Amino acid sequence: MDKLPEGLVEALLAWYAANARDLPWRRDADPYRVWISEIMLQQTRIEAARGYYERFLAALPTVEDLAAAPEEQVLKLWEGLGYYSRARNLHRAARLIVEKHGGRLPADLAALRALPGVGDYTAGAIASIAFGLPEPAVDGNVLRVCARLTCCPDSIGEPRVKAACRQALREQYPPGRCGAFTSALMELGETVCLPGTPDCPVCPLAGMCAAHRTGREADWPVMPEKKPRRIQARTVFLLEHEGRVALAKRPDKGLLAGLWEFPNVEGALDEDAVLALARAWGCQPEAAVPCGDARHIFTHLEWHMTGWRVRCAAAPELFAWTTAREREEGYSTPSAFRFYKDLLERSSS
């Protein structure tokens, strides 16, 4: 990636001062709050994160509170946001911050980077926004802006392009205004220099942007090739016994680790197979009725689910047998199962 254009910082900061959106995490540069917001925003849209952010901080207002919270509470506060390893890493990192750093996030890039769940991007965001250090935070938005400004010919999926972008930005960071510069770059990528068609007529950098000069702004950035997602059929069991429904805990490692789910298996089972499996689990099934199909998309995987409601005469200890209220208050279930959760709620109300 080439050098970034002269005058970038002044133009961008002036635009940001006049156009910054009022977002809850921008009202306070407290390192803990910046950290929580950056982790939440990693894979979540701003509008979706807003409510979660406020709820999370109301429940756990300090690093110490987060460190002392039971994991179930942290996961419950995260329920519906997806990518639950983020919540688990936050929790582990909070304990480390209390043990090693006296309960304060370290004002140092390497020490931030050493925390679980904190990569180059998040470390740069916290360092610049919360501590005013000249450390860039390069995510997809910032890469896109910089690739367009310079007509970067290489794929932004290449680590060396990201590293070059970070270096080019580091040379620009204005002392005393590092946090605003990081936020301004993100804001431009989120609101003006959009992935599909950028809104160049309102862009403060239009006069210095190489892609804009060509008139083919959407040709940049050069994107990495996408791998197709793997599709997996699954059968979901709503096992019901005397008004209670079975939940199973997922393993502590891997996809959706440690969360509670309706028992489910790979493959699209027919009625006989559903009854046979419920019998093998010790549920003494009396009847199985199909209750609808649902899909859920993970980053590299797509679940195509078929659901069955199974009336059971027994409630084996293999599962937790839960009421609607217990599921709502005490069990974190991933949004992959929302369709079935809603279906049960509708039929119990």
What backbone phi and psi angles, to 5 degrees, belong to 175? -55, 135
Q: Is 38 a catalytic site residue?
A: yes
Among 105, 118, 145, 312, binds ligand SF4 (CB under 6 A): 145
By CB under 6 A, the residues from 229 to 268 that bind ligand SF4 are: none
- Least separation in angstroms between CB 219 and ligand SF4: 10
Rule CB under 6 A: is residue 148 a binding residue for ligand SF4? yes
- Least separation in angstroms between CB 172 and ligand SF4: 14
- Rounded CA-CA distance 21/187 in Å is 8
Q: Which DSSP symbol is given to 222?
A: B
- Rounded CA-CA distance 159/6 in Å is 25
Q: Which residue(s) pair with 297 in the sheet?
A: 302
- Least separation in angstroms between CB 217 and ligand SF4: 4
By CB under 6 A, the residues from 176 to 235 that bind ligand SF4 are: 192-193, 198, 200, 203, 205-206, 209, 211-212, 217
- Rounded CA-CA distance 186/138 in Å is 9
Rule CB under 6 A: is residue 8 a binding residue for ligand SF4? no
- Least separation in angstroms between CB 151 and ligand SF4: 10
Which residue in this structure is represented by tokens 């990693």? 42
Residue with smaller CB distance to ligand SF4, 12 or 129: 12
Per-position b or e across 210-231, b if 16+ CB within 10 A of its CB: bbbeeeebeebbeeeeeeeeee
* Active-site residue, selected from the candidate residues 6, 10, 38, 187: 38
Q: Which DSSP symbol is given to 203?
A: -
Structure-token pair, residue 288: 């199985």
Q: Which residues bind ligand SF4 (CB under 6 A)?
A: 145, 148-149, 192-193, 198, 200, 203, 205-206, 209, 211-212, 217
What are the catalytic residues?
38
